[in-house]
Amino acid sequence: MKPAISIQNLVKNYDSVEAVKGISFDIKKGEFFGLLGPNGAGKTTTINAITGLVNISSGQVKVFGHDVIKDYRETRKRIGLSQQDLMSLDRFLSVEGILTYQAGYFGIRRYEAEKRAEELLEHFDLTSKKNVDIRKLSGGMKRRLSIAKALVHDPDILILDEPTAGLDVELRVDMWRDLRKFVKEGKTVLLTTHYIEEAERLCKRVGIIDHGRLIELDTTKNLVDKLSAQRITVVVSGTIRRLSTPLKKLGVSVKGNRMRIYIDGDYSKVGKALYEIEKMGLKIIEIRTAENRLENVFLRLTGHE
């Protein structure tokens, strides 16, 4: 079976800036895949390459075996895109008008477009707003409308760029339920998010991208297990100006009055680190432990601790 999305050696340059640097990965049909990375890592550029919104500098992207450049019409109709930037919603149309216009773009007849729009408005609790100017909608309503717009032509692939950004907890949980439902219906979902726990809850596999490079790709569980470590945080009195050489060798990191130690199964590290801290004349106020989760893995890999 052909993958839903196949990316091979994708490169995208903006003048002298290489935004995406030769990344390769496949997403299976019916998979819930997460693409994580810091701001500016290349996530949105990758999505834009898949959907044909940017020209690829080199490499190849295929959707169900069709090249996104040579077979643009075929690939674009298979994809529903909800962009991070809500300015992509036409501010001169009503809520219902946005959906029917988008359906028409994909060749759906007016009667069917109106029926589909009605179903989606009801599903996303926007029926009472169908004749409202979108400029009067809240941020959460605009976000739901953006996803409804992505679904109006019933695509096989749903690509969501930060879909729950700005939503409160209750709306985020509702959105998670909807996304799981789409996967159960056989759709493929590609999600970018800066909420790490969101990817951990929803995604079977995760790719981590940083500075335009794919630095990890695995199942969420394997990724956490592979880089499993227990993190020890030691809080001391006063600010730590400089680490001793032995502490550096133990891989201790410092922020303010906190030292972090990843023991990686070697519990002797803790005793050695505490001994060195005492030698520095620092008073230990508190010791905290935390098991590794996807967020800790992400921070370690991208160096954003």
**How do residues 236-282 score in pLDDT, each as one tens digit?**
887 787 888 888 888 888 888 888 887 766 667 878 888 888 888 88
**Residue 303: its pLDDT value, please?**
60
Which tokens hold the place of 189?
Answer: 């979902």
Q: Is the pLDDT of residue 290 over 80?
A: no
Which helix (H) or strand (E) segment holds residue 293: the answer is none
Apex 26 CA angle, 21 and 30, nearest 5: 140
Q: What is the DSSP letter of 2?
A: -
Q: Where are the alpha helices (DSSP H) in the chain?
A: 43-51, 72-77, 95-105, 110-123, 139-151, 169-184, 196-202, 220-226, 245-249, 268-279, 294-302
Q: Is the pLDDT of residue 216 over 60?
A: yes
Higher per-residue confidence, 275 vs 32: 32
The helix or strand, by DSSP H or E, that contains position 33, with its residue range, turns out to be strand 32-36
Query: Per residue in 164-186, pLDDT tens?
Result: 877 777 788 888 888 899 999 99
Q: What is the pTM of this model?
A: 0.75
pLDDT of residue 208 exceeding 80: yes
Q: Which residue has the higher pLDDT, 76 or 222?
A: 76
* Ordered structural domains, the chain, with CATH: 3-225 (3.40.50.300), 228-302 (3.30.70)
Q: In what order do the strands lie in the sheet with 230-236?
A: 253-255, 258-262, 230-236, 284-291
pLDDT at 229 over 70: no
Cα separation, 175 vs 163, whole angstroms: 8
Express each pLDDT in 49-108 by its tens digit: 999 999 999 999 999 999 999 999 999 999 999 987 776 677 788 999 999 999 999 999
